[in-house]
Structure 1
Amino acid sequence: MIPLNGSHPPHNGQSPSSMAGFVTDHFSTTNSSWNSNQEIARLLYSAPNHPEWIRQQVEIRPQTGTQYMFCRFDGNWFKMDGYEWKKRREGKLIREDHMKLKA
């Protein structure tokens, strides 16, 4: 896990200095295709240097293809965006799917 408010941890045995060229200064808020693993890794490594990329409030009914960064530990308030989220079979909790990032 890459903390959004700390120093960059070593990645795959590489020192943070060797990852210096891996950061980016551009975050596209709209995207018409899935991000590649390399694009996701660049955004995550660059996020601590760009606090303006991390959203603090929800946008109601965002356009298709809009992408945001949220701090994962702030709660589930980001799901209050005006869309109906898919619920589990019992209908109590909102379904979340997690995938491992191999970068």
Structure 2
Amino acid sequence: MAPSFFLLGSIYFAKGAFVKTSVIAFVLYFSVILLNEFLIRLVFPDREHYGPTPFSDVYFQQNGRRYEVELTGLPKLLISLLSLAAAPILWGIAYVRFKEKQL
């Protein structure tokens, strides 16, 4: 997904494309991680928790036992499909933007 994101950034920004795209990627990535951490703490208050990686399983401990919470069914399928579709969507947006620049 990173190459398609940077291709889109190089087409969108005229000057300093790599630096600007890197800053946007950094801000987006850490914003998602902070939002995910906030949601985990909201759902599992007062517990030691693990797995703050976005869209992954969450592990926590309670009374010395380790528990795992994971998505199943349709939500897991939707996240998997979104993850797989992200790169082609970015490639498509980059293609449309590139065609607009050529005109």
User: Could you state the TM-score of these two structures normalised by the residue count of structure 2?
Assistant: 0.29
User: Could you state the TM-score of these two structures normalised by the residue count of structure 1?
Assistant: 0.29
Structure (1 or 2) with the greater helix fraction: 2
Higher relative contact order (CA 8 A, sep 6+): 2
Based on CA coordinates, which of the two structures has the bigger radius of gyration? 2
Structure (1 or 2) with the greater strand fraction: 2
